[in-house]
Structure 1
Amino acid sequence: MDELIDILKADGKPLGKSVMKSKAHKEGLFHATVHIWFYTKDGELLLQKRGAAKDTHPGLWDVSVAGHIGAGESIIDSAVREVQEEIGLALSGKELKKIGVFKSIQKHSEQLIDCEFHHTFLSELKIPIKQLTKQESEVDDLKLISTVQFTNELNDNELAKQYVPHSKEYFTEILKEINLLF
């Protein structure tokens, strides 16, 4: 789905202009996204299997919820909206713990260059996974996985192919922050 997004400089500061997401991706313009990682008290992470029709990384497992920040939208409002849209969970901004902003550049093709700043949050999943409602156009499946199994699979070259290829530093920081909670 195309949407209007704010463009950023390479240092993450606002440029003062907005364009359609498709244009930002075509021209490799920096923009902001939200990533929300849900964890359980049992040391599990909620993962989302990206929809088969997605432009990038279809059918791969990824962060619990992710999405673009709309033009003029606050980071927190965007995170709350994306969680509601993708997994049907209503939460407040107070339930999100920001752990960082990660710069990511991925050239998928000549026409699709993702230059993003991921505003990344943790939040405790307090309801059973079966009570979540997947956004059919975005999410093929949801699953819980232990942080130990997730770490082991990321460190196995073959098993790691089932995940969106975020940087090693990104995954290391996410797992470090989640492990601090236990």
Structure 2
Amino acid sequence: MIILRDPSIALEVTKQRVLMDELIDILDESGNPTGRTCLKSEAHLKGLFHPTIHVWFYTLEGQLLFQKRARNKDTFPSLWDVSVAGHIGAGEDIKIAATREVEEEIGLTIAISDLEGIGMFKSMHQHSETLIDNEFHHNFLCVLKVPLSELKRQESEVDDLKLFAWEDFKKKVEQNQLEGFVPHELSYYQTTISEIERRI
């Protein structure tokens, strides 16, 4: 369970929860649509499965873009994570959601055709008794065609953006030495690394 001892951080987390609540689709345990929707806060409270997008940006020179999650996030604060991640609104097209989140989180406009889907991954994390985050990540790859300096992070979501050498991160995954990174399933990281390796 994450305990926020700094009152200012706790207040900011509460504000973000209120401002960022949205209607999302509910999935079954196999990732199939149920036809039901609810607020994101309710899905997290009850541990209901829901869809999200993950977009990994990489350069043809062998670098991966990571974001450091904001310190006031209620899930995995201050850890390095996938370039862009976010929830899919109820009824929203998956790739449209991905392009929207990319623009919101790192200030980059991309086309749907820039996205390469590499699969869907089940993720289950219980952060506290009232925050059970069960998701199916729709995972995409995208070539980063602009310098890091041209990206504009969403300060409420992202504390930092950094390019990591692909070979260095590959070694971390192979040795399962991922301290400082969001604890996704090892198979998730392995698949992502393998798919990027085919493209660079």
- Specify the TM-score bucket, using the shorter chain as the normaliser: over 0.9
Computed over aligned residues only, the root mean square deviation of the Cα atoms, in angstroms, reads: 1.1
- Residue in 2 aligned with 1:10? 29
1:106: Cα distance to partner? 1.0
- Residue in 2 aligned with 1:179? 197
How does 1:8-157 map onto structure 2 within 5 Å? 8-155=27-174
Deviation larger for 9-18 or 95-104: 9-18
Whole-Å separation in 2 of the counterparts to 1:170 and 1:156: 14
One-letter amino acid of the counterpart of residue 117, structure 2: K
Number of equivalent positions: 181
Whole-Å separation in 2 of the counterparts to 1:104 and 1:160: 17
- Residue in 2 aligned with 1:163? 181
Displaced runs of 4+ in structure 1, greater than 6 A? none
3-state SS in 1 of match to 2:179: helix
Give CA-to-partner distance per residue, 1:2-45, whole Å, 9 cap, x none. Answer: 11101011111111111111110110000000000000011100
1:154: Cα distance to partner? 3.7
Answer with 1 or 2: which has the greater Rg. 2
Whole-Å separation in 1 of the counterparts to 2:76 and 2:85: 13
- Unaligned residue ranges in structure 2 (runs of 5+): 1-19
TM-score normalised by structure 2 residue count: 0.88
Deviation larger for 29-38 or 2-11: 2-11
Whether the aligned pair in 1 keeps the contact of 2:122 and 2:135 (CA below 8 Å) is yes
1:78: Cα distance to partner? 0.3
One-letter amino acid of the counterpart of residue 174, structure 1: T
1:155: Cα distance to partner? 4.8
One-letter amino acid of the counterpart of residue 163, structure 1: F
1:136: Cα distance to partner? 0.5
1:110: Cα distance to partner? 1.2
